[in-house]
Chains A and B, each alone.
Chain A
Amino acid sequence: MIIAQLDLRLENDLAELEPLVRALDFFCETSALPEKVAHRLTMAVDELVNNAVDYGYPDRRAGQITVSIRHRGTQVEIELADDGNAFDPFTAPAPDLTSPIEDRRIGGLGVHLIRTLAAHFAYRRENGRNVVALAFTLDA
């Protein structure tokens, strides 16, 4: 069986991560994605959902996050949308990648990983939602 498409709707709650990961694993397996692509895809969704839940709803209101994944030809396309406060993750400053251990700053690597490993990334604010579109090529 090949599953070419996955659509998920989550609450803005970190408890959703475990079933989310299970669904992603299932998708990657049934789509027979190469292990690097599967890891990149899972990591990107993991990082962005964590960020949305942690920072998008400072007033602790209930929110909704959707994740759509399409396996199309030679790439996998992902769209994540959340109704949290407007925030473009790709405006985050570049992390420190060169200092020696004692000076290396901790953190800021999640978005850097996505920016580096995705073939395409884009952000838009649409109808009160943050929408991040990503594509990963299958030839990793």
Chain B
Amino acid sequence: MHIDRFVEKDVVITAVRGRLDSSTSPKLDEFMAVIPDGSSVLLLDFAELTYISSAGLRVVLKAAKLAKGSGVTLAICGLIPPVHEVFDVSGFSTLIPIHANRDAALATLG
């Protein structure tokens, strides 16, 4: 798994590439544990996320809870169909805004 972070239109984007499972999710968990100063919108770009298990969902929910508690918006974009299915079945699709891709997310959030 590889994580990149950058800012575009005042949105803090965290792009995750590869697999989010029990062995890799602690790295994202650590990354999402601190919300950068002054940010109001966090976007998880999962366009290049090829796999997610419940261990990955746990990290996403933790990040969403932290954001909510800090008055920050957290959104997700770019889910490939098998990953989107996991979000749907887990009841996350109604919990966290999911955008088709980064441009669509930035148009709404930025």
Contacts and interface: CB of A to CB of B under 8 A. Distances in A.
A120 interface: no
Contacts of B69: 102
A9 interface: no
A21 B19 contact: yes
B39 to A, nearest CB: 18
Contact of B53 (A14, A100, A104, A110): A110
B64 A101 contact: yes
B26 interface: no
Interface in A1-46: 14, 17-18, 21, 35-36, 38-40, 42-43, 46
Given A50-B55, A97-B91, A39 B82 contact: yes
Given A97-B90, A116-B89, A109 B54 contact: yes
B101 interface: no
A119 interface: no
B58 A107 contact: yes
The interface residues of chain A, by DSSP majority, are classed as helix
B70 to A, nearest CB: 12
Nearest to B52: A43
Most chain B C-beta atoms within 10 Å of own C-beta, residue among A39, A100, A110: A39
A35 B80 contact: yes
B36 to A, nearest CB: 20
A98 interface: yes
Interface string B38-56: 0000000000000111110
A47 B82 contact: no
Contacts of A122: none
A112 interface: yes
B5 interface: no
Given A35-B82, A43-B53, A47-B54, A17 B21 contact: yes
Interface of B: 19, 21-23, 51-55, 57-58, 61-62, 64-65, 68-69, 80-83, 85-86, 89-91, 95-96
Interface of A: 14, 17-18, 21, 35-36, 38-40, 42-43, 46-47, 50, 95-98, 100-102, 104, 106-110, 112-113, 116-117
Give the 8 A-B residue pairs with the shortest CB-CB distance, closest first.
Answer: A97-B91, A39-B82, A110-B54, A109-B54, A36-B82, A101-B68, A116-B89, A46-B53
